[in-house]
Each structure stands twice: as structure tokens, then as C-alpha cells.
Structure 1
Amino acid sequence: MAEAALPSGTLLGRYVSATSYTDCFVVTVPGQITQAAYVEAFYTTALFKLERLVLAVLLRRPSSDPEARQLATGEVSRFAAWTVEAREADEILLCDFLGASRSWLMSVEDSVSGATTLYFGTALVPHTGGDRLGVGFRALIPFHRPYARALLRSAVRRLKSV
């Protein structure tokens, strides 16, 4: 799992600014992996299920594996604490219920090499009218980065086990 520059023209790119935090993690795996398979795998890993449990208990925003599958296939636009903000054939951008963060997943299949590059990124944005991130968000960034890598690694393991 490597940190990488955000590819140009992506849905997450609209949040790259001096006042926001954005990141992008990437891994290339053998085989052709559809965007739907990636999204479903990501949100159904054991690690992400812990986050889903916290959201269900603390925020009363439960979710299930079948709902993750429906999110992946475009059947629903809400999942746990997120709403789909934008979707393309190979990307999905989700906004949290507070409007403070975005989660982004993209898969790019390479028919020549037979591999797929998986991207996972996050944007933290200031509250409306604000010009900087809150102290709480800034304090979480050092913890978020290894967690983001772990989430992507977990999704890759899940995809390999299917």
C-alpha cells in the first residue's frame, strides 16, 4: 500500500485545496477486479465491520453486508453514515452525514497486464464558510493514514479470498 498523488480528473479531485486534507493510497493487484467487487470487498472486511459496529452503536447508523453489496451495485445511495455524492463506472465518492469528510474508491483495470489498480482516498473539508480544518480532524490525521492503509490491505485480502 503506497501513498500516491491523486490522479487528475477524479471525483475526489474537487476537494484538493489549501484548506482541505486529501490523501490517496494505491495498490496494484493481479487480475481484473470490477469497481462493484472492490466496493463490496472494502465495506465488508472484518476491519471495516468494526467501524460499522461503532457507527451502529454510537450514531445509530447500522449497516449490513447486503447493504454494502447494494451500494456496490448502485442499488442504494445511502450506507451507514454515508451518502453517495457522485459515482462513475470506476469510481464512487461518499460524503459523511455531517458533510465533513469524503471517502473515495476507484478501480482501474489494465487489460494489457491483466492487473487492476485500486485507489482509496479521503478528503476532510472545513465546515461551510470555514477556512481551516478543526482541531479534532487535524489531530486524527496521523492515525487515519495507517488505518487507511490497513483498510486497503484488508480489501485486497478479501478480494483474493473470494
Structure 2
Amino acid sequence: MKITLNVNGDAYPLDVEPRRILADVLREDCGLTGTHLGCEHGVCGACTVLVDGSAVRSCLMFAVQCDGSTVRTVEGLSGPDGEPHPLQRAFSAEHALQCGFCTPGFLMVAAGALEADPALGDDPEAVAGLVGSNLCRCTGYEPIRRAIARAARERQNTAT
């Protein structure tokens, strides 16, 4: 099927098999390898991307379902000059990554949530619930929670 994906601001006209998952198309056809495949069952969250602003598990979505949609991957977080996104800076400052495999999924689920609700970082239980939606084997989750809260605070401070 012929589809067009708008990924990180670029149009990708593609011819894809209807059964191909979005994660594979992003990685193989668009060359955006920041989206990682872990469990391929929608459990781990390493493949999380934003589709029309909502966090989705790209291993569970067919690429044809996204025809005409706006997709944002971890490569699309950085600014126009390549400056890191506030979440990326916070993850670094809080040591919220170790092996880095799960990091793109955490960054994208957090970006979507903070864009939808900038005050989310003020609610430790909400941040914990958000972080609990993805799996990490290395950090113990606390640094990730701190990083999300830090990015939310910094965003609020620059907005005022």
C-alpha cells in the first residue's frame, strides 16, 4: 500500500506491506533507528513514539494505520540546531540512563505526557504511574522519575 508518513517534520512517501509494523518502517524505511524493539508485544515500551501527539507502542501499530499522520520519534526531540530537548538534558543530569536501550521509549512517553499536561511533574504519583508504563533493567526508575519532574519544573520556569 502507498502511504505517506510525516515523521519529525519530513514527509516519507512509502510503499509498505499492510502487515508491517510502524517500528520496522521507521527503522528500516525511514532510517530512524532510535525507536527500539524490545519485547515486540507492547509491554516494554522501548518502541514508544508519538502519533498525532499521543504515545503509542509502534510495535503494535501497523504503518498503514498512520497514513497521513504526524509521527514523532526520539530523533525529533532535539531542537532545530541539534540542541537537546529539556527531557534529554534532564535524563543526563539525573543519570536516568545506563545502557540506554529503554531511554527513547521513556523520553517519548514523557514528552507526550508533559506536552498534554505540563503540570504532571508536580504530581509524584502521576510521574510514577507514567514511568511504570515502561520497563527498564538498569536504573531502578527513581532517576527517571527525577528527570521527568526536573524537565517539567524547568519547562514551567521558562514559561513564566
Quick check: TM above 0.5?
Answer: no
TM-score (norm 1): 0.30
Question: Higher strand share goes to which structure?
Answer: 1
Which structure has more relative contact order (CA 8 Å, sep 6+)? It is 1
Q: TM-score, normalised by structure 2?
A: 0.30
